[in-house]
Amino acid sequence: MNNGYIHNQVLLHTVEQKFRVLGAEVTREYPVEAHGRRGFIDLHIKFPSWSLAAEAENARRRVGWDINKAGAAGASGLIIMAPTWQVARACRDEVRQKRNRGDAGSLWICVLTLGAFQQWFRINFPLFSPSFEASKTFPASESGRTSTSTPYSKL
């Protein structure tokens, strides 16, 4: 799906930037061929030992094709970004149906909204995500001046 501000500049851009911070090689519109059809993965995220496919969807109808593309690309997992919880729920239902029929294989699949992705990323990559505590200001000395460094920065 290659259109729309929400698709490109909000959903995919956020995922792309988060994984680039980790040092991943991220490619937009990664070409694949699955079941005799040529298609493109919205984001192909490659690390030295594993890779992910990321797709942004506005409806459940393309989820099966997304699973096929991720499998054809040799991805370890698939992240499906949805703009609303209603779309995310519908996509999860579709993933569940594909799994029950055996169409998803051993592919790890996660369907998330933008907020859920942010939380998932913070939990799974805590060393690379700024915490809330790191953004607070702390007293630097008894003189009343403040510092933007955390109490742990002196360690």
Condensed to tens digits (0 to 9), the pLDDT of residues 44-70 reads 999 888 899 999 998 889 999 999 999
Q: What percent of the chain has pLDDT over 90?
A: 36
What's the CA gap between 116 and 114, in Å, rounded? 5
Q: Beta strand 138-139 with 108-112: parallel, antiparallel or unpaired?
A: unpaired
In DSSP terms, 136 is beta-bridged to: none
Task: Identify whether the C-beta of residue 69 lies closer than 8 Å to the C-beta of residue 38.
Answer: no
Average of per-residue pLDDT values in the chain: 79
Pick the range with the lowest mean pLDDT from 27-36, 87-96, 124-133.
Answer: 124-133
- Residue 80 is which amino acid? I
Q: What is the pLDDT of residues 4-57, one digit of tens each?
A: 766 666 678 888 888 888 888 999 999 999 888 899 999 999 988 889 999 999
Higher-confidence residue of 44 and 154: namely: 44
How far from the centroid of its chain's Cα atoms is residue 79's Cα? 5
∠ CA 128-116-49, rounded to 5°: 45
Q: State pTM to two decimals.
A: 0.75
Taking alpha carbons only, the member of 120, 116, 111 closest to residue 58 is 111
Beta strand spans in the chain (E): 25-34, 37-46, 51-56, 77-81, 108-112, 138-139, 146-147
Task: Identify whether the C-beta of residue 25 lies closer than 8 Å to the C-beta of residue 91.
Answer: no
What's the CA gap between 147 and 97, in Å, rounded? 53
In sign, the C-alpha dihedral spanning 122, 26, 47, 102 is: positive
Is 5-147 assigned to CATH 1.10.287? no
Q: Hunting for tokens 């460094």 — which residue is that?
A: 149
